Amino acid sequence: MADLSVNFAGIKSPNPFWLASAPPTNMGSMVERAFDAGWGGAVWKTLGEPIVNVSSRLASIDQGSLRMIGLNNIELITDRPLDVNLKEIYECKKKYPNHAVIVSLMVESKREAWHDIVKRSQDTGADGFELNFGCPHGMSERGMGAAMGQVPEYTCMVTEWVKEVSDLPVIVKLTPNVTNILPPGKAAQKGGADAVSLINTINSVIGVDVDTMVPYPNVNGMAAHGGYCGPAVKPIALNMVSELARDEEFTIPISGIGGINTWRDAVEFMLLGAASVQVCTAVMHYGYRIVEDMIDGLNNYLDDKGFASVNNIIGQSVSRVTDWGNLDLNYDVKAHVNKEHCIRCNLCYVACEDGAHQSFTFEEVDGKRYPFVVEEECVGCNLCALVCPAPGAITMHRVDAGGPPQSWRQRTGSS
């Protein structure tokens, strides 16, 4: 079996699967059960000034029979006493010395406040800190969370404050609620962060009850914007992780977060530069034991690919991500209908006719009518293959001569 252990910014854990700072890490008994199930690390639910949460707090988007493909929450940081949390962190780390225990922190933008909570928290024996600069609701309206993370200067400043009083590894949790992830990421690095984690939740209103006309989640007839997470946000998270990973000036490790449900999701994050991954929504949906499948799946993948360690796959796909202007304009693919798999639903024809490039017609074979691709009209957009419900019925074939690639920048002489 491959070696799954990781050393993330000086924080060691038996595998790269960590619980994200969220309800599944709300108390010591929960984190201990998670470690017993196989999780390699946990980021404690964010500690800070006392708060009062509302009810209800969660709402979701379903897709057909699939529940919670997107989850919205308006829950804030821990509402448990700081002293109780610190005691449980100490006891948990003492009981599980080989697992990663990270303390997530969020307080107001005052040096004294950050110094105080950092000093108190590091006495627990925890392995490191995660600075929560990502929460988009409730706390941000008080000048914390995303309100810090959206201003690179604040991100740098607070990170420096933490590093003034602690030698423990510091992870800065970045908000996705920005137009460009590079400035806050680089600001964290400039401030002395040992690593970053991303993404935190995305600002959202999940929907409205059309009968009562009250948005979700309903708090006595009112609602507020919240943080969006779950499988639906994975593409956004992968983009932001890869943007940092492929920037030559960004050199600190990345912990990937956002829509990780399976070992495949985790591998995708690691291939794009994440050295560890954090999971929340999937645990809230299916429980701690999903990590068993994640560990088995990752082990089998590494064995199949011939990798001795999980660290060998980190960043393997980063060089494959580029700007649009560098893509090969000469590369050409066309769709092809494989009649032996086609169920003749004609969804490919409808999608192409009304939503793409009108590249389908029909042909009759043995008295049956099949969709047929007009290659001269097909632009290789993939839409037909994406909407096709029959596996293998539509495939994309390369039709160019395979000559030297030519990008838009090369063709136009643009820099």
Over residues 59-85, the pLDDT tens digits come to 999 999 999 999 999 999 999 999 999
DSSP codes of every residue in 324-381: GGGSBTT--EEEEE-TTT-----HHHHHHHHHS---EEEEEETTEEEEEE-TTT----
- Assigned domain for 46 exists: yes
Tokens standing for residue 303:
């064995």
Q: Between residues 369 and 141, which one has the greater pLDDT?
A: 369
Task: Tell which of 296, 320, 344 closes a domain.
Answer: 320
Is the pLDDT at 10 greater than 70? The verdict is: yes
Say what percent of the chain tops pLDDT 70: 98
- Assigned domain for 342 exists: yes
- Omega before residue 69 within 30° of 0, cis: no
Task: Tell which of 320, 350, 370 closes a domain.
Answer: 320
State the pLDDT at residue 413.
86
Residues 351 and 222 in one domain: no
**Quick one: average pLDDT of 369-376?**
97
Distance CA 21, CA 103 (A): 9
Neighbours of 385 (CB within 10 A): 16
Over residues 200-252, the pLDDT tens digits come to 999 999 999 999 999 999 999 999 999 999 999 999 999 999 999 999 999 99
Query: Measuring CA to CA, which residue among 163, 125, 130 is closest to residue 48?
Result: 130
Q: Residue 135 — pLDDT band, cuts 50, 70, 90?
A: confident
CATH number at residue 155: 3.20.20.70
Q: Residue 134 — pLDDT band, cuts 50, 70, 90?
A: confident
Distance CA 33, CA 99 (A): 12
Domain count, the chain: 2
- Assigned domain for 247 exists: yes
Residues 373 and 282 in one domain: no
State the pLDDT at residue 138.
59
Alpha helices in 65-171, H assignment, sequence order = 82-95, 111-122, 146-149, 152-165
Task: Tell which of 286, 320, 354 closes a domain.
Answer: 320
State the pLDDT at residue 414.
80
- Assigned domain for 1 exists: no
- Domain, as residue range, for 52: 6-320
Residues 128 and 158 in one domain: yes
Buried-exposed string 129-165: b where 16+ CB fall within 10 A, e elsewhere:
bbbbbbbbbbbbeeebbbbbbbbbebbbbbbebbbee
Residues 157 and 180 in one domain: yes
Is the pLDDT at 141 greater than 80? The verdict is: no
Catalytic residues: 135
Over residues 162-194, the pLDDT tens digits come to 999 999 999 999 999 999 999 999 999 999 999
Is the pLDDT at 144 greater than 80? The verdict is: no
Residues 329 and 181 in one domain: no
Tokens standing for residue 122:
């590091």
Residue identified by tokens 């990590």 is 291
Residues 307 and 342 in one domain: no
Q: Report yes or no: 31 and 92 within 8 Å, Cβ to Cβ.
A: yes
CA gyration radius, the chain: 24
- Assigned domain for 235 exists: yes
Distance CA 60, CA 69 (A): 7
State the pLDDT at residue 136.
73
Is the pLDDT at 359 greater than 80? The verdict is: yes
Residues 13 and 97 in one domain: yes
Residues 140 and 269 in one domain: yes
- Assigned domain for 128 exists: yes
Q: Residue 340 — pLDDT band, cuts 50, 70, 90?
A: very high
State the pLDDT at residue 83.
97
Residues 114 and 220 in one domain: yes
- Assigned domain for 209 exists: yes
- Assigned domain for 282 exists: yes
Residues 246 and 387 in one domain: no
Tokens standing for residue 225:
């914007």
Tokens standing for residue 137:
């609701």
Residues 328 and 295 in one domain: no
Distance CA 302, CA 313 (A): 8
CATH number at residue 329: 3.30.70.20
State the pLDDT at residue 140.
66
- Omega before residue 56 within 30° of 0, cis: yes
Residues 194 and 83 in one domain: yes
Q: How many residues does the chain have?
A: 415
